[in-house]
Structure 1
Amino acid sequence: MKITVPPRGPEERRRDVLARLERESDIWVASADTDGLPCLVPLWFVWDGQAVWLSTRATNPTGRNLSDGRRTRLAFADTRDVVLIDGEATAFTDRDVPASAADSFHAKYTWDPRADRAPYSFFRIRPLAVQAWHKQRELPQRHLMRDGIWLV
């Protein structure tokens, strides 16, 4: 198969990443416990323009890992349109989460984790690094953010 589409430039990739953060429903969340045991789960998320917000039970492995380790890697499911986001997590209870973050879950999914019978925690994931590429041809310029600062 001959590739005829030129690689996207960094600015277009950044626009594409931001568009996916607005439109996608699920994101893969990777974390590890204090012994290094990995955990990978898909979760609903919302993007507030600065951070990714997740909600899960504080007692499940992902909730514990994000509370204890505070680091995560997020990814979308498409392996031919890769987006990887390395981030730092801050945990919030259902009582101290900013209302705008919790309300955005209800607006996007018609589900409010605060109203669930089981207690849910919220996690703000502040992006520290972002990589994005379509297939091998875009690997050389895949880094779009480092140390929390957009490179483009």
Structure 2
Amino acid sequence: MTITETPRSPEDRKRDVLDRLERETDIWVASADADGVPCLVALWFVWDGEALWMATRPGNPTGRNLRTGRRTRLAFGDTRDVVLIDGDVDVHDREEVPAAAAEAFLAKTGWDPRGDSARYAFYRVSPRSVQAWHEVRELPQRHLMRNGTWLV
């Protein structure tokens, strides 16, 4: 395979990341327990312009890991169009979640975890770092955010 496309600028990659945060419904969520046992699941999410909101059951491995570890790595894409987001996690029980976040989640996914018969919690992920690249040609400028601040 020959790569003929020129690399996107960091500004174009940031714009693409923000578009995906608005457009995509699912994101891969990586977490680990206290012993370092990894867990990887796809969850629905909504982007509020500053953070991602997800919902899962607090007693399942992902819910427990996010609550105790307070960190996660999120991912979009395949191996040729990668977005990685490392973030800090805040947990909100369904009675405590801000109404705007829960309503945005419902509007995007069509599901309101607050009314589900099973118990769900909301997890707010504040990005600390964002990387995005299309294949090896964009690796040198893949970092778009560090320490919670956009670089572009």
User: Aligning the two structures, in what range does the TM-score lie when normalised by the shorter sequence?
Assistant: over 0.9
- Equivalent residue for 1:110? 110
- Equivalent residue for 2:124? 124
Runs of 4+ in 1 over 4 A off after TM superposition: none
- Equivalent residue for 2:142? 142
Matched-pair identity in %? 68
In structure 2, list runs of 5 or more residues that go unmatched: none
Structure 1 residue 5: Cα displacement: 1.2
After TM superposition, the structure 1 = structure 2 runs for residues 45-64 of structure 1, keeping only pairs within 5 Å, are 45-64=45-64
After TM superposition, the structure 1 = structure 2 runs for residues 13-28 of structure 1, keeping only pairs within 5 Å, are 13-28=13-28
- Equivalent residue for 1:83? 83
- Equivalent residue for 2:151? 151
Could you state the TM-score of these two structures normalised by the residue count of structure 1? 0.98
SS of aligned partner of 1:4: coil
Structure 1 residue 79: Cα displacement: 1.8
Q: Which amino acid aligns with 1:103?
A: E
RMSD: 0.7
Could you state the TM-score of these two structures normalised by the residue count of structure 2? 0.98
The answer to whether the 8 A contact 1:28-1:77 is kept is no
Structure 1 residue 63: Cα displacement: 0.4
Structure 1 residue 104: Cα displacement: 1.1
In structure 1, list runs of 5 or more residues that go unmatched: none
Task: Output one character per residue of 1:123-145: Cα deviation in whole Å (capped at 9) or x when no partner.
Answer: 10000000000000000000000
- 2:43 and 2:57 mapped to 1: Cα distance? 11
- Equivalent residue for 1:12? 12
The answer to whether the 8 A contact 1:58-1:121 is kept is yes
Structure 1 residue 71: Cα displacement: 0.4
The answer to whether the 8 A contact 1:130-1:146 is kept is yes
SS of aligned partner of 1:139: helix
Q: Which amino acid aligns with 1:22?
A: E
SS of aligned partner of 1:105: helix
- 2:64 and 2:81 mapped to 1: Cα distance? 30
